[in-house]
A and B are shown apart, each in its own frame.
Chain A
Amino acid sequence: MTTSNSIQPLLRIKDIRRRFMLGETAIDALHGVSLDIHASEFLAVWGPSGSGKSTLMNIIGLIDTPTAGEVWFDGQDTHTLKDDAVTDFRGRKIGFVFQSFNLVPVLSALENVMLPLQIQGVAEVSARERAAQALLDVGLERFKSQRPDRLSGGQRQRVAIARALVVSPRLIIADEPTANLDSENSKMIIDLMRQMNRSKGVTFVFTTHDPRLLEHVDRKVLLRDGLIVQDEVTNV
């Protein structure tokens, strides 16, 4: 089933193309992808390796720019923004959860979660309170003083989710968030993301190649050879 929604989408991408140069050879990762993502959606992009999932996520997350096409986020044509403006925009509106957690190893869990707030210039006391609340939300308040190397993989990813949530973003991008976790932790992370999506209304877009996790999403976008071949609403 293909979605259609008349209200203003949170994110609209139109006819996105992305070409990479590998030496002299041009590689087209996306061949003209269009997609609308609405607020509070819990969406998975899936497909085989090399289908363009990560490229699409990078463009949606405004950390890469398309070779052609438009990206509208929250009514803003992101193409018109300069680098510092895109960076600030991204910092305020988008959170990231990475496959390898990407926590700063010399900072404690709490300090890692505070970091996006500090980058935005939020006062120390307020940043500390909000970060502590975010850690509480992901069930890690007892581990706030621990550095990442003292945490398990699942705990690290929960810290990463707390870091993404702490700025109250409109959208959280998670590129293969469970790829480095065992099945139990993978399910726990997906459940946590789902819970945050429902309780806080945050839009989640994540990629996965694990078909078991697709059972938990309410929209699945299948990508193959740089094209969306299926966009299905499952309404879990």
Chain B
Amino acid sequence: MYKFKLGNTFKLAFRGLSRNRRRSMVTLLTIALGFSAIALFAGYTHNIYSGMSRGAIHGEMLGHLTLSKPGMRKEGRLYPERYLLNAGEVNKISELLRNEAHVKLIAPRLAFSGLLSNGRASTIFLAEGIEPSALQKLQEGIFSEREIRRGTFSNMLKKLDPLHTEVVELSGGLVELLHIEKQGLAAMLVNTMSGQANALDVTLGGTFDTGNAGTNDKFALVSLALAQNLYDAAGHADRLTVLLDDVAQTEPMRKQIQARLHEAGFDLEIKSWNELSSFYNQVHGMFDMIFGFIFLIVLTVVVMSVANSMGMTVIERTREIGTLRAIGLRRAGVVRIFTTESFLLTLLGCGAGLLITILVRYGINVADISYVPPNSVSPTPLLVDLDVRRIVFTFVLMGIVATLAAYLPARRAANKLIIDALGHI
């Protein structure tokens, strides 16, 4: 049975770190800087993901789940009568889901497109019909506390008048194109569900930014009643948006709602917000790839540094290894001392790295730095979160890999003949 206690192994390993202080410090700094580089980038991407998920759920108004007839997204525009949910279906489904746990809102939606005219010129628009109260509820939680405090992105908020269904909100770019004044009149020309042309006068209630340069000159927001009127589809909706009280409940609730609808005889397709937000998925995928790339590079540098440092340490202490073996330490004990030393070095390095991360993060977050991301219309603040999950993952992986990096030279030294080790100069 191995008898050299873990506490003694740690003591010997810890003291071992103080032998060549300069080398230990350089290795420790390499680990610390590598760790903080990973943790800061992870925190930056975490902030982006979190902002983008809020943007998709509340800003793009995707909610957490979207219910529609299968095929609606592909062929709904061609055959709306086949794919729209009628008033009876909308009411039944809403009734069915209203009392489900975690469900905060069920909002019927109707999207359409057409031409918007100021009387002299026309341009295309993409419109979304939604009940004003649902719009307000859907946008709750769009901003972080910091954004609310600083008023960042407040131009992205949308509002519809529940008493005047003809009042619409237009995106800033669209208003600029047609030079429409607030409270000014415009005409919306669309095709109805049956393919007839239909036009209605609308009043500009306000403007908003979509946050996306590609849609900021096309988007319009109208009340559901106006949309149904224009589309000649009273009570109809092309989809139902479900807002939950917790984003973590998205997948469990999808399964639960699917089961409830199936029991009630409805065959509906349910998509989650991250399936529908292609922009979120693309950005997430891109940053995940960059993170993986940076992580691999940093991990390689750290492991090489630890392996080099421990390799030199083991060589320098070969005679001591011979002495310890001679006075009764088993081969496994030698390996354990050096792997523990490497683990301690990594632990201290990661601890220092965490401290650097917290300080740099604080500095960045109070520095009020902002930038305009690609395809965006407004500046975004540069903020860094603490991504605990990836910090723990980095620490565990670095600990394992750095310990393994010490294992090989330590095993080689432990397997040396004692007389050779003692004779080592």
Which residues of chain A are near B320, meaning CB under 8 Å? 102, 104
A120 to B4, CA, bound (A): 6
| A58, A98, A104, A120: the one within 8 Å of B328 (CB) | A120
A15 at the interface (CB under 8 A from B): no
| B19, B331, B419: the one within 8 Å of A83 (CB) | B331
Pairwise interchain contact B418-A119, C-beta atoms closer than 8 A: no
Pairwise interchain contact B319-A90, C-beta atoms closer than 8 A: no
Pairwise interchain contact A64-B3, C-beta atoms closer than 8 A: no
Which residues of chain B are near A116, meaning CB under 8 Å? 327-328
Pairwise interchain contact B419-A87, C-beta atoms closer than 8 A: no
Which residues of chain B are near A121, meaning CB under 8 Å? 3-5
Pairwise interchain contact A84-B330, C-beta atoms closer than 8 A: yes
A105 at the interface (CB under 8 A from B): yes
Interface residues of A in 66-96 (CB under 8 A from B): 83-84, 87-88, 90-92, 95-96
| B3, B8, B323, B326: the one within 8 Å of A61 (CB) | B326
**Which residues of A come within 8 Å of B, CB atoms?**
58, 61, 63-64, 83-84, 87-88, 90-92, 95-96, 98, 100, 102, 104-107, 115-116, 118-121, 163, 167
* A106-B329 in contact given A64-B418, A118-B8 (Cβ < 8 Å): no
* Known pairs A84-B331, A98-B323, A167-B328 / 19 extra A-B pairs, C-beta < 8 Å: A58-B418, A61-B326, A83-B330, A84-B330, A87-B328, A88-B330, A91-B327, A100-B319, A102-B320, A102-B323, A106-B15, A106-B19, A107-B15, A115-B324, A118-B4, A118-B5, A119-B328, A120-B328, A163-B327
Distance in angstroms from A67 CB to nearest chain B CB is: 13
Pairwise interchain contact A96-B5, C-beta atoms closer than 8 A: no
Which residues of chain B are near A91, meaning CB under 8 Å? 327-329
Q: Which residue of B has the minimal Cβ distance to A61?
A: B326
26 chain-A/chain-B pairs, Cβ below 8 angstroms: A61-B326, A63-B326, A64-B418, A64-B419, A87-B325, A87-B331, A88-B328, A90-B326, A91-B328, A95-B327, A96-B326, A98-B422, A102-B322, A106-B15, A106-B16, A106-B18, A107-B12, A107-B15, A115-B324, A115-B327, A116-B328, A118-B5, A119-B329, A119-B333, A121-B4, A167-B328
Which residues of chain B are near A83, meaning CB under 8 Å? 330-331
Interface residues of B in 156-177 (CB under 8 A from A): none
A205 to B185, CA, bound (A): 112
Which residues of chain A are near B16, meaning CB under 8 Å? 106
B417 at the interface (CB under 8 A from A): yes
A106 to B337, CA, bound (A): 14
Q: Which residue of A has the minimal Cβ distance to B421?
A: A63
Top 6 A-B pairs ranked by shortest CB distance? A91-B328, A121-B3, A106-B15, A63-B418, A102-B323, A116-B327
Distance in angstroms from B46 CB to nearest chain A CB is: 41
Pairwise interchain contact B15-A96, C-beta atoms closer than 8 A: no
Q: How large is the interface on B (under 10, 10 to 19, 20 to 34, 35 or more residues)?
A: 20 to 34
* A120-B3 in contact given A87-B329, A106-B19 (Cβ < 8 Å): yes
Pairwise interchain contact A92-B418, C-beta atoms closer than 8 A: no
**Which residues of B come within 8 Å of A, CB atoms?**
3-5, 8, 12, 15-16, 18-19, 319-320, 322-331, 333, 417-419, 422
A163 to B324, CA, bound (A): 12
Pairwise interchain contact B18-A96, C-beta atoms closer than 8 A: no
| A61, A84, A100, A105: the one within 8 Å of B19 (CB) | A105
> Number of A-B pairs whose CB atoms are under 8 Å?
73
Which residues of chain A are near B19, meaning CB under 8 Å? 105-106
Which residues of chain B are near A167, meaning CB under 8 Å? 328
Q: Which residue of A has the minimal Cβ distance to B17?
A: A106
Which residues of chain B are near A84, meaning CB under 8 Å? 330-331
A58 to B325, CA, bound (A): 13
| B8, B328, B419: the one within 8 Å of A90 (CB) | B328
Residue in A84, A87, A107, A120 with the greatest tally of chain B CB atoms within 10 Å: A87
Q: Which residue of A has the minimal Cβ distance to B332?
A: A84
| B8, B327, B331: the one within 8 Å of A96 (CB) | B327
Distance in angstroms from A118 CB to nearest chain B CB is: 5
Distance in angstroms from B342 CB to nearest chain A CB is: 16
* A92-B328 in contact given A98-B323, A102-B323 (Cβ < 8 Å): yes
Q: Which residue of A has the minimal Cβ distance to B328?
A: A91
Which residues of chain A are near B326, meaning CB under 8 Å? 61, 63, 90, 96
Which residues of chain A are near B319, meaning CB under 8 Å? 100, 102
A118 to B327, CA, bound (A): 11
Which residues of chain B are near A107, meaning CB under 8 Å? 12, 15
Distance in angstroms from A166 CB to nearest chain B CB is: 10
Q: Which residue of A has the minimal Cβ distance to B325?
A: A87
Q: Which residue of A has the minimal Cβ distance to B415?
A: A83
Distance in angstroms from B183 CB to nearest chain A CB is: 82
Which residues of chain A are near B417, meaning CB under 8 Å? 64
Distance in angstroms from B18 CB to nearest chain A CB is: 6
Q: Which residue of A has the minimal Cβ distance to B423?
A: A54
Pairwise interchain contact B330-A87, C-beta atoms closer than 8 A: yes
Pairwise interchain contact A63-B419, C-beta atoms closer than 8 A: yes
Which residues of chain B are near A120, meaning CB under 8 Å? 3, 328
A219 to B320, CA, bound (A): 31
Pairwise interchain contact A119-B327, C-beta atoms closer than 8 A: yes
A95 to B405, CA, bound (A): 33
Which residues of chain A are near B324, meaning CB under 8 Å? 104, 115, 119
Pairwise interchain contact B15-A119, C-beta atoms closer than 8 A: no
A58 to B417, CA, bound (A): 11
A83 to B332, CA, bound (A): 11
Q: Which residue of A has the minimal Cβ distance to B3?
A: A121
Q: Which residue of A has the minimal Cβ distance to B420?
A: A64
Residue in B8, B319, B320, B417 with the greatest tally of chain A CB atoms within 10 Å: B8
Which residues of chain B are near A58, meaning CB under 8 Å? 418-419
A105 to B323, CA, bound (A): 12
Distance in angstroms from B281 CB to nearest chain A CB is: 54
Distance in angstroms from A133 CB to nearest chain B CB is: 18
A102 to B418, CA, bound (A): 13
